[in-house]
Chains A and B, each alone.
Chain A
Amino acid sequence: MTVNSLPVRADLPVRADAGIPRRRRGRRLLRPGAGRQHHAGPLAYVLLAVMAIVSVFPLYWTMVAASTDNTRVSQTPPPFLPGPNLFRNLARAWDEAAMGKAMLNSLIVAGVIALSTVLFATLAGFAFAKLRFRGRNALLMLVIGTMMVPPQLGVVPLFIMMSDLGLTQELPAVIFPTLVSAVGVFFMRQYLSEALPDELVEAARVDGAHSLRIFWSVVLPVARPAMAVLFMITFVHAWNDFFWPFVVLDMTNPTVPVALTQLSAGYVRDQSLIMAGALLGTLPLLAMFVVFGRQIVSGIMAGAVKG
């Protein structure tokens, strides 16, 4: 489900004056709720605790299975507590299952894609939010329209194209098609429309700054919080992207999700090795969520539709 990417405010009217905020808003991504302010009762806490357990349990169990061995995993009742073999299995997954190489590849792919998406989305978002040019609204509608086209539909020609370029099984084949994101452009436009005061741009113009200079010294500092959020969310999506990397890469040079499929397709199924691989492939993102959870949550919510 790769299309289910960054949320956007789909309901916002796209008009000629849409880029001009009627009043200045703060830079915060998350505004305090104006909606319901009821206090949660015990039942709400119980339900939320159940939700949290359901959300986390599969990952917990991944860790449990990865820390035992194949015979223990295949017994009933299944193990609920971690065993002693976690690091041994992780090391095996790293070496035998090519997870080490896959992690490095995914880091490169997701890092480059996230950087380039953030840069180009901020550039285009700034232009759509604050600059006047002929065809602006039509082009913006085009950007929104492109969100409706799932990238998966073009895989056959894309594969032919990459094979002509000699790029099959190479990382650039995965990177090129996702260097930009329509949702990212729209996200940055929405953010800059509100967060960047027109006066700031005008003042810079009067001072003689050209557009690129304004982008560098005025837009970037204002856009930084949104850029950080966009970076992380794009990184998550690029790290987890499956279909196209699966088509164009193979086991000699896989990303994490591609390596994981091979892990499970082996003739001898070593369950704890598979789970160790799955755990390894998820750890970097989990670490990011633990450290930047607040920012990611507020970023997703800031981009959401405010009906």
Chain B
Amino acid sequence: MVTSTTNALAGEERAGPSPATGGGPVRRRGALLHRLDLKGAPYAFVAPFFVVFAAFSFYPLVYTAWISLNRVELATLDVMEWVAWDNYVALVNDSRFWNALQNTFTIGVISTVPQLLMALGLAHLLNYRMRASLFFRVASLVPYATSVGAAALVFTMLYERDFGMINWMLGAVGVGPLDWEAGRWSAQTAISTIVIWRWTGYNALLYLAAMQAIPAERYEAASLDGASRWKQFTQVTVPGIRSTIVFTIVLSTIGATQLFGEPLIFGQGPNGVTGGADNQYQTLGLLLYEEGWKNYQMGRAATVAWAMFLLLVVVFAAQRLLRRLRPRTS
């Protein structure tokens, strides 16, 4: 039972062999180590996750609240001057904040809604029995493999005012060249297409997986009742993947509130951080960055971060409330 002793030195994680072997005091120690192992090992196994999360996610989130109550400048990060609610008062009185909030909301809606609807349709198509199904699945995931940086650069070029392919195609049907970047709605639409392009296929695969778990009997029952293909889709498929739909809505909403890379790159350089000359597509993420790393006001940046967090909380509270108010029929 030499191993038992070395194990004891190595600590509880590597506790000794089962008490079935050995005898006497060694056996008692083996049993003790065994118990320690049973009790301690699970905590040791989950500890790394919680330690890293606490250090790099939870602590920063809480600390953000503290910083938002102080004046902190980028050049002198150690100097904190307590200003209580000043940053929040300034934020609420800042038209750029309301503008960014509105932009985040509108871009969020026009990127999420079509994206999830198209994903639903695409999943339905992918669910057919067909040739080359793997090819289509991988093809729909190609945008997901493309980084924000690369995708935004290509789309920025496709949306170019003078030589972009999209204006060229619009010109072919008689629509004059659009200055996509300059207009509020055109810029927000263009940015949304980048988001839609990147995430539709991914969401479609999630829906597809859920669709494949729907029991075939439900479709048989529906077709016996004379339900058309469309009826089957709306009354069997969509309710069948309801929880996946809720899940993708949650993820897309979180993503939408954090939108940053697409508008930044779409603005090409200095214009990016402010979200265009008139802030016409500045999101909360861009405002956070502008306050902290362009205006050097870290306290202000932390305030924006908390506003984003509160926005998420409000959105999910509203969603829960809506769900409770509307009784489920299925």
Contact with B along A58-85 (1 / 0, CB 8 A): 1101100100000001111110000000
Report A-chain residues with C-beta under 8 Å of the C-beta of B146: 58-59, 240, 282, 285
Interface centre among B165, B309, B312 (most CB of A within 10 A): B165
Q: Is the Cβ of A52 less than 8 Å from the Cβ of B136?
A: yes
* Distance to closest chain B CB from A93 (angstroms): 12
The answer to whether residues A52 and B260 also contact, given A139-B46, A211-B13, A301-B206 and a CB cut-off of 8 A, is no
**CB-based contact B122/A160 at 8 Å:** no
What are the residues of chain B within 8 A of A177 when measuring CB–CB? 52, 56-57
Q: Is the CB of A4 within 8 A of B127?
A: no
Pick from A73, A126, A157: contact of B60, CB under 8 Å: A157
Stretch in B96-104, B153-161, B317-325 with 4+ CB within 8 Å of A = B153-161
Tell yes or no: B268 within 8 A of A by CB: yes
Report yes or no: B270 in contact with A35, Cβ–Cβ below 8 A: no
Q: Are B41 and A131 in contact (CB under 8 A)?
A: yes
Q: Which of B46, B140, B243, B260 contacts A152 (CB 8 A)?
A: B260
Q: How far is the CA of A161 from the CA of B45 in the complex (A)?
A: 26
A54 close to B (CB within 8 Å): yes
Q: Give Cα A73 to B144, complex, Å.
A: 26
- Bound-state CA distance A77–B63 (Å) is 53
Q: In angstroms, how far is the closest chain A Cβ from the Cβ of B220?
A: 11
| Interface status of A220 (Cβ within 8 A of chain B) | no
**B255–A205 contact, CB under 8 A?**
no
Confirm or deny: B67 has a beta carbon within 8 angstroms of a beta carbon on chain A. Answer: yes
Q: Which of A104-133 contact B (CB under 8 A)?
A: 120-121, 123-124, 126-128, 131-133
Pairwise interchain contact B305-A307, C-beta atoms closer than 8 A: no
B181 CB–A CB distance under 8 Å: no
Chain B count of residues within 8 A CB distance of the other chain? 131
> Which residue in A38, A212, A289 is a CB contact (below 8 Å) of B142?
A289
What's the dominant secondary structure at chain B's contact region?
Answer: helix
Binds A, one of B184-192, B197-205, B274-282: B197-205
B49 near A185 with CB under 8 A, answer yes
On whether A146 and B213 interact (CB within 8 A), knowing A33-B127, A123-B46, A282-B147, the answer reads no
Q: Which of A255-289 contact B (CB under 8 A)?
A: 256-258, 260-261, 263-266, 269, 271, 274-275, 277-279, 281-282, 285-286, 288-289
Q: Is residue A11 within 8 Å, beta carbon to beta carbon, of the partner chain?
A: yes
Known: A44-B130, A150-B312, A307-B243. A282 touches B150 (CB 8 A): yes
Tell whether A242 pairs with B260 under 8 Å between CB atoms, given A44-B125, A301-B209. yes
From B14, B48, B147, B265, contact of A264 by CB (8 A): B265
Instruction: Report if A163-B197 is in contact (Cβ < 8 Å); known contacts: A136-B42, A154-B57, A260-B147.
Output: no
A210 contact from B41, B162, B199, B259, Cβ within 8 A: B41
Q: CB within 8 A of B17: which of A38, A52, A75, A208? A: A208
What chain B residues lie within 8 Å of A131 (beta carbons)? 41-42, 45
Contacts of A240 on B, CB cut-off 8 Å? 146-149
B84 within 8 A of A: no
**Across the interface, do A212 and B13 meet the contact criterion of CB distance under 8 Å?**
yes
| Distance of A183 Cα from B219 Cα, bound (Å) | 32
- A37–B216 touching, CB < 8 Å: yes
Closest residue on chain A to residue B257 by CB atoms: A150
The 8 Å CB contact of B39, one of A4, A133, A243, A277, is A133
Chain A residues within 8 Å of B153, by CB: 260, 263-264, 274-275, 277-278
Assuming the A-B contacts A211-B41, A297-B205, are A74 and B163 also in contact, with contact meaning beta carbons closer than 8 angstroms in the complex?
Answer: yes
Given the complex, which residues of B lie within 8 Å of A38, measured CB to CB? Answer: 128-129
B210 interface residue (CB < 8 Å to A): yes
Interface centre among B46, B125, B165, B240 (most CB of A within 10 A): B46
Say if the beta carbon of A18 comes within 8 Å of chain B: no
Q: A4-B202, A153-B61 are known contacts; what are 12 more A-B pairs with Cβ within 8 Å?
A: A48-B125, A55-B143, A61-B158, A78-B163, A155-B301, A157-B63, A159-B292, A211-B15, A213-B14, A243-B261, A289-B138, A289-B142
A sample of 10 inter-chain contacts (CB < 8 A) reads A76-B162, A146-B53, A146-B58, A157-B59, A211-B37, A242-B149, A286-B142, A301-B205, A301-B209, A304-B210
Which 5 residue pairs are nearest across A and B when measured between Cβ atoms?
A154-B60, A33-B212, A211-B41, A260-B149, A265-B269
